[in-house]
Amino acid sequence: MTTLIPILGDQLSPGLSALEGADPETSVILMMEADEETTYVRHHKAKIAFILSAMRHHAAALREAGWTVDYVRLDDPDNSGSFTGELARAIERHAPERIVATRPGEWRVLAAMQEWEDRFDLPVELREDSRFVCTHAEFDAWAEGRKQLRMEFFYRDMRRKTGLLLDEHGKPEGGEWNYDSENRKPPPNEPLLIPQPLRFAPDAITREVLDLVARRFGNHPGSLDHFVFACTTQDAQKQQAHFIKHALARFGDYQDAMLTDQPYLWHSILSPYLNCGLLDPLALCEAVEAAYREGKVPLNATEGFIRQIIGWREYVRGIYWREGPNYAQRNALNATRPLPGFYYDGQTDMHCMGQAIGQTMDHAYAHHIQRLMITGNFALVAGIDPHAVHRWYLEVYADAYEWVELPNTLGMSQFADGGLLASKPYASSGNYINTMSDYCGHCRYDVKAKTGAKACPFNLLYWDFLDRNEDVLGKNQRLAMPYRNWAKRPDKDKQTIRADAKRFLDSLTR
């Protein structure tokens, strides 16, 4: 009895649920590089190269472990270009009696998989993805009947479930669940002391992939010149150990900070490896907790990092699957402006945007505050179409899969779900950027100027954003103070801000 086991490009884990109980003697693993997956959006060249190289290395590891792997390369002349097409060809080759797969991470892929049983007249078993702490059913049960789905309360349940950072009485370590108030320090003036992540020189497999991507995806955004990703579990684990030893202790203090020409600071750079399966999220959290228990890392850094993994990451996955495939179409603020072209080349006089976008094009990476409070904040206050913003984030980041990217972008960043995720829009003037970075000191705009040609565009657009959206946001309690301040302004000031904002926004289209 032959079992065919398809493994997708974000399922590169030796303990994948589809492999549980499978006999290597009677199983065939199918791995497919599908053209439709590389082109349904114009993925960053480095993102494509990372995933393809990680897939090829994972296939080699599976073979070494005794599995039979049927691997279809992108440049195979008979490649049909789709998962379903390649499954059909594999069924002809292997005549399996059943198909076993782990549930995919995206609605789009699940819809295709759910048709396989009828299409191929074979039993198809789709198993829960056991790499996550919270199942779909558990999240739905938690969310049922709640007026607000706030991550903080979900996170506490995940702490209780995993036992992470609990004392002997089951209470939160240190007496508090959340130490985020300690994790908002502006950047220190010591760039020479910032640890740098490991860089992995491409091996023969990766070099072959880089050549393929350069030939085939030349019109996609981004560069391959800085490709240093880990493409194996072993190298990803080295990066994990390096982060815990050299950067984690100060991650908490400076996780929101930004510095010119310093893309990484004290961040882990592990999300691409978590999201494709090279690292196990729970094992990572346990290693971080162990460093705290050994006295090597302070509590605020440990809790802040673990919250991102078992709190926020699990939470946005739950939201994605609970809200359904139409979630992507929401647009609560009716934002319709096209995405400016500088999102693809960083050619803008706004230094903060140039920094965040420039490093994105170079490295397929930006940390969460650069995404939320620089590129996301600008798109929000400029009224850019949230679906275009969602598409851009999905394209350009190596860790971006729709289940994690869409709620973060559409909900958290763009407030397009009307407040399902965020209690208020994450909009700010230039003052926040000036506080948390050195960007403003390098910019041709003046962060202190509120109006005029030299005024920081964030200053103009923040107030214009509130003005434009007062019908929707005016009753939001967390915006009560800024709306009171706006109401006190003289009409002449309001008219000047509106006119300056319009002039700037019109220049984006031109």
How confident is the model at residue 104, as a pLDDT? 98
Nearest Cα neighbor of 424 from 465, 391, 458 is 465
96-104 mean pLDDT? 98
- What is the residue-averaged pLDDT of the chain? 96
Task: Read off the pLDDT of each residue in 384-404 and give the average, rounded to a whole number.
Answer: 98
pLDDT at 285 over 90: yes
Q: pLDDT digit string (tens) for 199-226?
A: 999 999 999 999 999 999 999 999 999 9
Answer yes or no: is pLDDT of 191 > 90: no
**Alpha-carbon span 47 to 271, nearest angstrom:** 12
pLDDT tier, 147 (very low <50, low <70, confident <90, very high otherwise): confident
How far is CA 334 from each of CA 263, 385, 414, 468, rounded to the nearest angstrom?
33, 8, 11, 10
**How many other C-beta atoms are found inside a 10 Å radius of the C-beta of residue 406?**
25
Task: Please give the structure tokens belonging to residue 3.
Answer: 């079992």
For the domain with range 3-127, which CATH number is right: 3.40.50.620, 3.40.640.10, 3.40.50.720, 3.30.420.40? 3.40.50.620
Quick count: other Cβ atoms within 10 Å of Cβ 474? Answer: 13
Q: Is the confidence at residue 148, as pLDDT, over 90?
A: no
CB 359 within 8 A of CB 398: no
Nearest to 476 by CA among 425, 429, 428, 432: 425
The predicted pLDDT at position 192 comes to 67
- Domain spans, the chain: 3-127, 136-197+247-323, 341-509
- Give per-residue pLDDT as tens, 431-450: 999 999 999 999 999 999 99
Report the percent of the chain where pLDDT is more than 70.
100
The answer regarding whether domain 341-509 maps to CATH 1.10.579.10 reads: yes
**Same CATH fold assignment for domains 3-127 and 341-509:** no
In the predicted structure, residue 510 carries a pLDDT above the cut 80: no
pLDDT at 188 (0 to 100): 87
The mean pLDDT value for 61-83 works out to 97
User: Which strands form 124-127's sheet, in the order they lie side by side?
Assistant: 68-72, 27-32, 3-7, 98-102, 124-127
Question: What does the H/E/C string look like for 145-206?
Answer: CCCCCCHHHHHHHHHHHHCCCECCCCCEHHHCCCCHHHCCCCCCCCHHHCCCCCCCCCCHHH
CA angle 491, 496, 498 (to 5 degrees): 95
Q: Average the pLDDT over 355-370 and give the result.
A: 98
Q: What is the pLDDT of residue 113?
A: 97
The predicted-structure confidence for 315-328, as pLDDT tens digits, reads as follows 999 999 999 999 99
Task: Give the helix ranges, DSSP H, for 430-490.
Answer: 430-436, 457-468, 470-473, 480-488
User: What would the mean pLDDT of 382-393 be, rounded to a whole number?
Assistant: 98
Please determine, for residue 288, whether its predicted confidence score (pLDDT) is greater than 90: yes
Cα(33)–Cα(419) distance, integer angstroms: 37
Q: What are 21's two structure tokens?
A: 């109980």
The pLDDT score that the predictor gives to residue 476 is 95
Q: Is the pTM of this model over 0.85?
A: yes
Class of domain 136-197+247-323: mainly alpha
pLDDT at 438: 96
pLDDT tens sequence across 231-271: 999 999 999 999 999 999 999 999 999 999 999 999 999 99
CB 380 within 8 A of CB 426: yes
- CA torsion 482-370-313-21 (nearest 10°) is 170
What is the structure's pLDDT at 437? 97
